[in-house]
Amino acid sequence: MSLINITNVIVLDNPTAFSNPFQFEITFECLQELCDDLEWKVIYVGSAEDSAHDQTLEEVLVGPVPVGINKFVLQAPSPNFDLIPKTDILGVTVVLVTCSFMNHEFIRIGYYVNNEYADPIDPEQPLPNPLELSKIYRNILADQPRVTRFPIDWSGQSYHNNNNNNNINNNNMNEQNIQIPELSAEEIPNVNENDEEINMNNIEDDEEDEEDDEEDDDEMDEVDIAEESEDEDDEEEEDSEEVDEESLDENNPMELLNEDSMDVSKMQSMI
């Protein structure tokens, strides 16, 4: 059940010049004390084809609202002439009066507005350029309102819940921004005294292994040296034997005689 009932709306100063403010005398009934103010808006539809041209002419808070019958005049300035498409300045458009409670709209009253030019305009001819604002008049069809109602939560619980959820989400985002990642037990290196002793033992074992390897290398080097010396002795003995044989050949007179005899015979043949 709605706690606010609009009982009557009277459009004041109508028809009037386009540049004059809008005025609505609103009467409504409040059935129960409200925990917040009422927000009233006046919206001018600049173009039926594009909502981007809509202009919010007035926003006003009314409250605290007493229980019972209430009446006030809602006044809004005329729309900005320069923000309206030139082709939509004249002709029929809409003005809206809305009311919201705790950011929830619960009623919307729409009126058709007819803007006319004071001078006669031939529909087959283009519009005067520029249009003179002082010659434009506005006529609101006050006897043909279009009223739309929306059910809302009048307790305000949904509003507070939404705010609480937004605060919780913001807090969670802040916590996520400053949260430091924690390492798992497997990722944390486990260092203790026993591990240090084991590492020291490993180092000592490595040193002993290196010493043993060096001793083995030294022994291998000694064996190689001994073998090389024996090979050299054998080669020297063989060389001495060859030298002795050559010396024996040189001291052989038969060979010398034969060589000389060969030379002599050759010489004789040549003579």
Instruction: Tell me the average pLDDT across 232-261.
Output: 47
Q: 145: cis peptide before it, omega within 30°?
A: no
Instruction: Tell me the average pLDDT across 110-115.
Output: 97
pLDDT score of 21: 98
pLDDT score of 180: 41
Q: Which residues pair with 255 in a beta bridge?
A: none
Give the Cβ contact number of residue 271 at 10 Å. 4
pLDDT of 250 strictly over 90: no
Range of lowest pLDDT (114-123, 185-194, 213-222, 225-234): 185-194
More confident residue, 173 or 27: 27
Confidence of residue 207 (pLDDT cuts 50, 70, 90): low
Do 27 and 68 form a contact (C-beta atoms < 8 A)? no
pLDDT score of 115: 96
Confidence of residue 108 (pLDDT cuts 50, 70, 90): very high
- The pLDDT mean for the chain works out to 76
- Phi-psi label, residue 264: left if phi above 0, alpha if psi -120 to 50, beta otherwise: alpha
Q: In this structure, what DSSP letter does residue 3 have?
A: S
Range of lowest pLDDT (49-53, 62-66, 84-88, 226-230): 226-230
pLDDT score of 128: 81
Dihedral, CA of residue 160, residue 100, residue 64 and residue 111, to nearest 10: 180
Listing DSSP states for 116-181 in one string gives EESS---TTSPPPSSPPGGGEEEEE-TTS-EEEE----TT-HHHHHHHHHHHHHHHHHHHHHHPPP
Instruction: Tell me the average pLDDT across 134-149.
Output: 95
Question: First and final CA of the chain: distance in angstroms?
Answer: 162
CA distance 267 to 141: 161
Range of lowest pLDDT (42-51, 67-76, 122-131, 216-225): 216-225
3-state secondary structure of 206: helix
Q: What are phi and psi of 108, to 5 degrees?
A: -140, 125
- What confidence tens digit (pLDDT) does each residue in 65-84 have? 999 999 999 999 999 999 99
CA 106 and chain centroid, separation: 37
pLDDT score of 100: 97
Burial-class residue 156 by CB neighbours within 10 Å (0-12, 13-18, 19+).
middle
Q: In this structure, what DSSP letter does residue 36 have?
A: S
Quote the Cα angle for 123-128-130, to 5°.
150
Q: In this structure, what DSSP letter does residue 234 have?
A: H
pLDDT of 241 strictly over 70: no
Q: What are phi and psi of 190, to 5 degrees?
A: -100, 105
